[in-house]
Amino acid sequence: MNHDSPRSALALRRLVNGYQVTQAIHVAAVLGIADLLADGPRRSDDLAGATGAHPGALYRLLRALSGVGVFHEEEDRTFALTELGAGLRSDAPEPVGGWAAFVGEPYQWQAWSALLHSVRTGENAFRHVHGIDSWTFRAERPELSASFDRAMTSLSRLVVTAVLDAYDFGRFGRIVDVGGGNGAFLSAILARNPTARGVLFDQPHVVSGAGPILAAAGVTDRCEVVAGSFFEAVPAGGDAYLLKAILHDWEDAPCIEILRTCRQAMADGSPLLVIERELGRPNQDPDAKFSDLNMLVGPMGQERTSAEYAALFAAAGFQFAGVTPSAVGTGVFAAVAA
């Protein structure tokens, strides 16, 4: 293969310029353009009026995004939503808008600007740039915390159906979702399994946003909401404990602490279900590999293999019981309290 061919150079340049596409989609998501196009094509000046944007600059944004298939430019500066761009609608079955809004936030963007620091030192980029960890930073900034929670809810919806199709949570009576965010995953489990009851556990400023999500799923009366820290104690008496997208946020030592806190609340023999991406084989699954880098930059965690999860379980009093894969690369890593 000729690596110096103009085509390779162009392909490489597109990858290099990926940050421009990220920020352009972020802006379209924050302005809510996809929702404004939900009922059909509109002129960019009209969209500028509706969003308070500069007409000329908004036209240039929409034109660029039409070049990568997010919108479709028609005559007379009119734009329509494509199938791809419809994923930015707030009522999309698998919404991506919340994630697009979050990844382009200046504080998150700045953390990624220090990836070189992380790669040189192995240290966390977020702390290097902002001086504190990402959880404390957001806890002190309610708007950013809400945007992050929306991003998590949006990501969760992307994998929830696949995970629920792959794994039967209906076999458990009382399910404790540890670090369950504002309840999107637990709501979906309870909605699909009408006899199950849930306990949503997360930090106080996070569970305070759970009410509308539980209500929208019609599960409020079957879900207890408990605030606290998974480094201190989690609710006892569950038939199963879930940790979804939690362990990948942390290095091994804090993961073992979280698992030990869960173990203390759990009866011998009860199941712990860790829902995470499978890291995948070399040269495959860039989503998992880039999520792993995102963990290095943001919360200072990592994606892991089954063997790495098994080692964490063993260190915290659990026995690994196997992984159930789903159709989207996220698996259910099961362990039993030993």
Size of the site for ligand SAM (CB under 6 A): 18
CB of 248 to ligand SAM, least distance (A): 8
Burial grade of 156 (CB within 10 A; 0-12, 13-18, 19 or more): buried
The number of helix segments (H) and strand segments (E) in the chain equals: 17, 10
Q: Is 273 in the site for ligand SAM (CB under 6 A)?
A: no
Cα–Cα distance, 294 to 297 (Å, whole number): 5
Cα–Cα distance, 102 to 141 (Å, whole number): 14
CB of 14 to ligand SAM, least distance (A): 29
CB of 246 to ligand SAM, least distance (A): 5
> Of residues 34, 47, 206, 266, which one binds ligand SAM by CB under 6 A?
206
Identify which of residues 231 and 290 has a Cβ nearer to ligand SAM in the complex. 231
Identify which of residues 24 and 103 has a Cβ nearer to ligand SAM in the complex. 103
Q: Is 102 in the site for ligand SAM (CB under 6 A)?
A: no
Q: Sketch the per residue contact string, 108 through 147, with ligand SAM: x for CB under 6 A, - otherwise.
A: ---------------------------x------------
Alpha helices in the chain (DSSP H): 6-16, 18-31, 33-36, 44-51, 55-67, 97-103, 106-112, 115-121, 125-130, 134-139, 142-166, 184-192, 204-207, 211-216, 252-265, 286-297, 306-315
Stretch that binds ligand SAM, among 39-47, 58-66, 125-133, 243-251 (CB under 6 A): 243-251
Contact 273, 323 (CB under 8 A): no
Q: Is 303 in the site for ligand SAM (CB under 6 A)?
A: no
Least Cα distance to 333 among 315, 299, 308 occurs for 308
Q: Is 245 in the site for ligand SAM (CB under 6 A)?
A: yes
Cα–Cα distance, 62 to 42 (Å, whole number): 11
> Of residues 147, 156, 302, 330, which one binds ligand SAM by CB under 6 A?
156
Residues with a catalytic annotation lie at: 248
Stretch that binds ligand SAM, among 50-58, 67-75, 242-250, 285-293 (CB under 6 A): 242-250
CB of 197 to ligand SAM, least distance (A): 18
Contact 201, 209 (CB under 8 A): no
Q: Is 58 in the site for ligand SAM (CB under 6 A)?
A: no
> Of residues 29, 48, 81, 152, which one binds ligand SAM by CB under 6 A?
152
Q: Is 249 in the site for ligand SAM (CB under 6 A)?
A: yes
Q: Is 180 in the site for ligand SAM (CB under 6 A)?
A: yes
CB contact set of 159 (below 8 Å; sequence gap of 6+): 275, 326, 328, 330
Q: Is 229 in the site for ligand SAM (CB under 6 A)?
A: yes
Least Cα distance to 245 among 310, 168, 149, 318 occurs for 149
- The residue written with tokens 């504190």 in the block is 132
Phi, psi of 319 (to 5 degrees): -115, 130
178 forms beta bridges with: 201
Report the interface residues with ligand SAM, using CB under 6 A.
135, 152, 156, 179-181, 184-185, 202-203, 206, 229-231, 244-246, 249
